[in-house]
């Protein structure tokens, strides 16, 4: 026998903004993931590691994790997978032998450049589907949420607007 909880007004999950944001982000993220997974067999952590190194050049695994909001074990597995593909090199830091600097190989750089085009095309198509006003509204809304959460675009800062929104921003 189901017991009805009397709360006025009830929470309608499908209308709850953090839930809707999470669902939308997951849908977009899965659509994009299918492109890099089908083309290169990459996982999300591998894609994010490749994209972060492609954007910034030589970095440590810790810096990659901070920038991309990934746990160190996910970064570690992604680094190993990219190294096995010969897309990434590890080099001991000259000043601190405990630190490994990571960089893309020429093959990794080529894969990154190919995937940059895929990413740009995906984003362009997505924003075109929203139309100019919808795209501008989305960007404005995301900026407002990031500001509210204390995160600037690309900072990798922690988000404290609840688990659903944090998950959405982390995996987008």
- The reported pTM is 0.78
Q: What angle do CA 163, 167, 168 make, to 5 degrees?
A: 120
Check pLDDT > 70 for residue 38. Answer: yes
pLDDT at position 169 is 42
Check pLDDT > 90 for residue 51. Answer: yes
pLDDT band at 149 (very low <50, low <70, confident <90, very high): confident
- Indicate the SS3 state at residue 38: helix
Length of the chain: 172
Mean pLDDT, the chain, as a whole number?
Answer: 87
Residue (of 119, 137, 136, 143) closest to 52 by Cα position:
119
88-95 contacts at long range (C-beta below 8 A, 24 or more positions apart):
88/49, 88/50, 88/53, 91/58
**Nearest-angstrom CA–CA distance, 35 and 41:** 9
Q: Could you read off the pLDDT of 62-105 as tens digits, one per residue?
A: 999 999 999 999 999 999 999 999 999 999 988 888 889 999 99
């Amino acid at each position: 026998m189901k017991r009805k909880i009397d709360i006025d007004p009830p929470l309608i999950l499908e209308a709850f903004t953090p839930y809707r944001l999470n669902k939308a982000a997951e849908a977009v993220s899965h659509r994009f993931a299918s492109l890099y997974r089908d083309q290169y067999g990459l996982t999300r952590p591998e894609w994010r590691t490749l994209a972060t190194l492609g954007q910034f050049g030589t970095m440590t695994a810790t810096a990659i994790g901070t920038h991309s909001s990934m746990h160190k074990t996910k970064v570690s597995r992604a680094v190993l997978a990219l190294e096995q593909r010969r897309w990434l090199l590890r080099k001991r830091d000259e000043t601190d032998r405990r630190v490994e600097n990571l960089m893309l190989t020429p093959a990794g750089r080529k894969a990154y450049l190919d995937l940059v085009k895929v990413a740009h095309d995906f984003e362009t198509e997505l924003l075109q589907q929203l139309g100019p006003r919808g795209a501008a509204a989305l960007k404005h809304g995301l900026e407002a949420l990031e500001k509210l959460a204390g995160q600037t675009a690309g900072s990798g800062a922690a988000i404290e607007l609840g688990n659903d929104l944090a998950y959405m921003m982390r995996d987008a």
